[in-house]
Amino acid sequence: MKDFLSEVDVTSPTAVYVQIEDQVRLAVAAGDILPSERLPSIKDLSDRLGVNPNTVAKSYRDLELLGILYTRRGMGVFITDEAPAICKRRAEERLRRLAKELASEARAAGLKSSEVRKIIDEAA
């Protein structure tokens, strides 16, 4: 597993527990974390990130409720077999929402589709 959970931005308007959840979801969607792979323990991750263990526990609990993680008592926290499909679907849904916002703003600004595609290509 790549060391994707290495930092959070405590000054960000996005809550730390959400940042952790997002990092896990995106890493799973990208294939950086695979099904059955073990995540760091709550204590290890809270120490690494410098956050309260309850924050990490909340992230893990939320991800478990979404079907992305499962806990094996005494063994740790692992990625479910269904996680890649769940995470990819959620990423695609988010991108569709962002694309709709972008298209709406582009129309309001009078931009042509070709101009918007060029902007997206430059950003990618």
Kindly report the pTM of this predicted structure.
Answer: 0.82
Q: How far is CA 38 from CA 9, 63, 69, 88, 119, in A?
A: 24, 14, 9, 19, 39
- Dump pLDDT digits (tens) for 19-58: 999 999 999 999 999 999 999 999 999 999 999 999 999 9
Looking at residue 35, what is its pLDDT?
97
Give the list of residues 6+ apart from residue 81 with CB closer than 8 angstroms, or none.
35, 36
Q: Residue 2 — very low, low, confident or very high, per pLDDT cuts 50/70/90?
A: low
**Angstrom distance (rounded) from CA 84 to CA 9:** 25
Query: What's 35's DSSP letter?
Result: T
Residue 1 has pLDDT above 60, yes or no: no
Q: Residue 122 — very low, low, confident or very high, per pLDDT cuts 50/70/90?
A: very high
* Radius of gyration over every alpha carbon of the chain, rounded to an integer in angstroms: 17
Looking at residue 93, what is its pLDDT?
95
- Dump pLDDT digits (tens) for 65-109: 999 999 999 999 999 999 999 999 999 999 999 999 999 999 999
